[in-house]
Amino acid sequence: QQQVRQSPQSLTVWEGETAILNCSYEDSTFDYFPWYHQFPGESPALLIAIRPVSNKKEDGRFTIFFNKREKKFSLHIADSQPGDSATYFCAASGNSNNRIFFGDGTQLVVKP
């Protein structure tokens, strides 16, 4: 059973629009939910993360919305820029198993 599910697989938005990337998880003991981005030719890097004590985390144009009851979280990228074009991975981890589970990734393209 896949622990973290991510959608859409690919997303194209115009510059200035808000891109919305979605994730859901299975294990209710997960307590850390990061988003990683990966630019072409580079390795993944931590972008932003949230813990269940909060339902929202902002960092500039990037915001995570977290719904513990529905076991869902999303990444909103406001005022998308062509430089945001990358693959985005959501993930979940917890102390119960000391593992991180990655989603399959969303390939985001921002058109100028």
Partner 1 sequence: ETAVFQTPNYHVTQVGNEVSFNCKQTLGHDTMYWYKQDSKKLLKIMFSYNNKQLIVNETVPRRFSPQSSDKAHLNLRIKSVEPEDSAVYLCASSSDWANTGQLYFGEGSKLTVL
Query: Which residues here bind partner 1, judged by CB under 8 A?
Result: 32-34, 36, 38, 42-46, 49, 87, 89, 91-93, 95, 98-100, 102, 104-105, 107
User: What's the closest the beta carbon of residue 93 comes to partner 1, in angstroms?
Assistant: 4
Of 75, 7, 85, the C-alpha closest to 40 is: 85
Distance in angstroms (rounded) separating the CA atoms of residues 43 and 41: 7
User: What's the closest the beta carbon of residue 99 comes to partner 1, in angstroms?
Assistant: 6
Of residues 32 and 65, the one with the C-beta less far from partner 1: 32
CA atoms within a 13 Å half-sphere pointing along the CA-CB vector of 29: 7
Helices (H) then strands (E): counts for the chain: 0, 11
Of residues 85 and 93, the one with the C-beta less far from partner 1: 93
Of residues 18 and 96, the one with the C-beta less far from partner 1: 96
Q: Which 8-state DSSP code applies to residue 26?
A: S
Of residues 20 and 49, the one with the C-beta less far from partner 1: 49
User: What's the closest the beta carbon of residue 37 comes to partner 1, in angstroms?
Assistant: 11
User: What's the closest the beta carbon of residue 55 comes to partner 1, in angstroms?
Assistant: 18
Of 99, 94, 85, 91, the C-alpha closest to 41 is: 85
